[in-house]
């Protein structure tokens, strides 16, 4: 999906496939769990500002708005993506009552001031970027958040490739899904590679005074990064 050689209907079907995978494989649940930890001290009834970086079709952003409201917060969710076609899809499928705002933005240079959001997330975006861009995105996500952020992405391995190949063939006939699923795994990073990049970008696993970094695996095919800002002194 990095190019434009696809029709509107193909894009629609592909984004619906991704929406299904995010739910069925537990990706959204992992993000919600990480954000629950980051916001555990946020009082009920308060406004919760959430940024979804590389939001694609907006399904994760919409889910997080629902999640935040169910936890007693007033959600303000921004879905940011560099691709206008993705944002158009998100706009067309956003429920009328969802507190979702759409913004065209380059994740490497986010157009918000420091600490503009409480938390941020990114799902299935990093494998589209080179190493230098990944470092920039992680630094930007740290800069614009007050509490921290979570990143979820595919993990490169033979097992991941096999599982994604089977999953896409069983559940979809969409040309983009069948092509991009396995290709995305081949482009993805290993846990060791993403840990090294995140440590370079954010100052190490536990940089004194600069917050804490955790890198791990989710299921058989994904990895995650969580970054927690240091508590104010």
The CATH number of the domain holding residue 85 is 3.40.50.150
How far apart are the C-alpha atoms of 50 and 103, rounded to whole Å? 13
Q: What are the backbone dihedrals phi and psi of residue 104, each rounded to the nearest 5 degrees, phi first?
A: -80, 120
Residue 110, both tokens:
């986010």
pLDDT tens digits for range 46-81: 999 999 999 988 889 999 999 999 999 999 999 999
Look at residue 81 and tell me if it is in a domain.
yes
**pTM score of the predicted model:** 0.88
Of 67, 50, 54, give the one whose Cα is nearest residue 18.
54
- What mean pLDDT value characterizes the chain? 87
Domain that holds residue 53: 26-154+190-228
Look at residue 141 and tell me if it is in a domain.
yes
Look at residue 66 and tell me if it is in a domain.
yes
Mean pLDDT of 112-129: 96
Mean pLDDT of 79-86: 89
Bigger pLDDT: 119 vs 93: 119
How far apart are the C-alpha atoms of 130 and 151, rounded to whole Å? 16
Look at residue 117 and tell me if it is in a domain.
yes
Of 153, 134, 171, give the one whose Cα is nearest residue 27.
153
* Res. 207: pLDDT tops 50: no
How far apart are the C-alpha atoms of 39 and 32, rounded to whole Å? 10
Mean pLDDT of 109-116: 97
Would you state the pLDDT for residue 117? Answer: 98
As a residue count, the chain comes to 233
Would you state the pLDDT for residue 204? Answer: 57
What confidence tier does 212 reach under pLDDT thresholds 50, 70, 90?
very high
Look at residue 50 and tell me if it is in a domain.
yes
What confidence tier does 101 reach under pLDDT thresholds 50, 70, 90?
very high
Look at residue 211 and tell me if it is in a domain.
yes
Look at residue 169 and tell me if it is in a domain.
no
* Res. 4: pLDDT tops 80: no
Give the Cα-Cα-Cα angle 32, 184, 67 (nearest 5 degrees): 15
pLDDT tens digits for range 142-192: 999 999 999 999 999 999 989 888 988 998 888 877 878 888 889 999 999
- What's the structural domain count of the chain? 1
Look at residue 11 and tell me if it is in a domain.
no
Would you state the pLDDT for residue 50? Answer: 97
Would you state the pLDDT for residue 9? Answer: 77
């Amino acid at each position: 999906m990095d190019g434009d050689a696809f029709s509107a209907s193909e894009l629609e079907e592909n984004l619906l496939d991704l929406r299904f995978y995010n739910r069925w494989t537990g990706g959204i649940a992992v993000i919600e769990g990480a954000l629950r930890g980051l916001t555990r001290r946020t009082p009920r009834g308060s406004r919760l500002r959430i940024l979804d970086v590389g939001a694609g079709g907006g399904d994760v952003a919409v889910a997080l708005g629902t999640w935040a409201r169910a936890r007693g917060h007033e959600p303000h969710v921004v879905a940011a993506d560099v691709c206008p076609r993705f944002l158009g899809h998100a706009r067309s499928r956003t429920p009328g009552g969802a507190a979702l705002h759409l913004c065209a933005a380059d994740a490497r240079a986010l157009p918000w001031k420091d600490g503009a959001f409480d938390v941020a997330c990114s799902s299935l975006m990093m494998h589209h970027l080179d190493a230098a861009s990944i470092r920039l995105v992680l630094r930007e996500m740290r800069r614009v958040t007050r509490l921290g952020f979570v990143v979820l992405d595919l993990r490169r391995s033979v097992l991941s490739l096999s599982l994604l190949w089977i999953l896409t063939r069983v559940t979809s006939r969409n040309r983009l899904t069948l092509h991009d699923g396995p290709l995305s795994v081949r482009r993805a990073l290993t846990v060791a590679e993403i840990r090294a990049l995140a440590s370079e970008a954010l100052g190490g696993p536990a940089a004194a005074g600069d917050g804490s970094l955790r890198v791990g695996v989710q299921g058989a095919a994904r990895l995650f990064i969580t970054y927690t800002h240091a508590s104010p002194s």
